[in-house]
Amino acid sequence: MEKEVRLLQTEFELRETDEGKEVIEGYAALFDDPADEQMGFIEQIAPGAFARAIEKTDTRALINHNPGKILGRKSAGTLRLTEDDKGLYYEVDPPNTTYANDLMESMRRGDIDQSSFAFVVSKEEWDDSGDVPVRTILEVEELHDVSPVTFPWYENTESGLKTKSKVLAEHRNKKQAEQDNIEELEFYKYKIKTLERCK
């Protein structure tokens, strides 16, 4: 299982608490919200897909998926993750660091308005009945991070990252292998029937 990264035009913003501190809050992922076709397939996330990952993963909030720019961490209580009917909601208490303050200023100005998350899938299903295959992510095994991002994710920008083209290739290869197995089984059935007739 390899790590994947997805960018979403989601809702997140700065909110001031009763204590006068600013928190970053919003949705890192939305359920049943099919992404536009990219790399040959459409992708959506099923409700409840993050429940296991939230429970077991010590997720971080980062800037641009950069581990050197950490905004919060689940185990430290500075990142809080929940699922609701809409999607994966997060709330982070940013540190008083230069990079966090720079991020919040960029958010106030509207320069940064996209979220991304890094994850590993454990369960998925594909629907090939339409013109374009649809991948539904049913369960996320690990949720590495949620990140406000400057640019959309581009293919092959991180070594060891599972690209969207590889996701589609794996699906096609699995489908072909299943078809090959069916054809092989039919061939053996035919061969057995032929041998039985010759007896």
Q: Which residue has the higher pLDDT, 35 or 162?
A: 35
Tell me, what's the pLDDT at 42?
Answer: 86
State how far the Cα of 76 lies from the Cα of 129, in Å rounded to an integer.
Answer: 45
Strand order in the sheet with 79-83: 12-16, 22-30, 87-92, 79-83
For residue 80, give the nearest of 93, 94, 88, 90 by alpha carbon. Answer: 90
Distances (CA, A) of 76 to 13, 48, 167: 21, 24, 33
Structural domain boundaries, residue 140: 4-161
Distances (CA, A) of 10 to 29, 107, 161: 7, 13, 22
Residue 185: inside a domain: no
Considering the chain, what is the average pLDDT of its residues?
A: 82
State how far the Cα of 27 lies from the Cα of 116, in Å rounded to an integer.
Answer: 9
Residue 184: inside a domain: no
Residues 14 and 108 sit within 8 Å (Cβ to Cβ): yes
Coil/strand/helix, residue 42: strand
Say which range, 74-83, 98-107, 160-169, 173-182, has the weakest mean pLDDT: 160-169
Read off the DSSP letter of residue 77.
T
Going by pLDDT thresholds of 50, 70 and 90, the confidence category of residue 38 is low
What is the average pLDDT across 164-185? 70
Tell me, what's the pLDDT at 191?
Answer: 66
At 48-89, the pLDDT tens digits run 999 999 999 999 999 989 999 999 999 999 999 999 999 999
Residue 177: inside a domain: no
State how far the Cα of 162 lies from the Cα of 4, in Å rounded to an integer.
Answer: 5
Residue 197: inside a domain: no
pTM score of the predicted model: 0.73
State how far the Cα of 197 lies from the Cα of 32, in Å rounded to an integer.
Answer: 54
What is the average pLDDT across 15-39? 80
Residue 179: inside a domain: no
Domains in the chain: how many in total? 1
Going by pLDDT thresholds of 50, 70 and 90, the confidence category of residue 8 is low
Q: Which residue has the higher pLDDT, 20 or 130?
A: 130
The two tokens of residue 180 are: 């090959």
Say which range, 13-22, 85-94, 96-105, 147-156, has the weakest mean pLDDT: 147-156
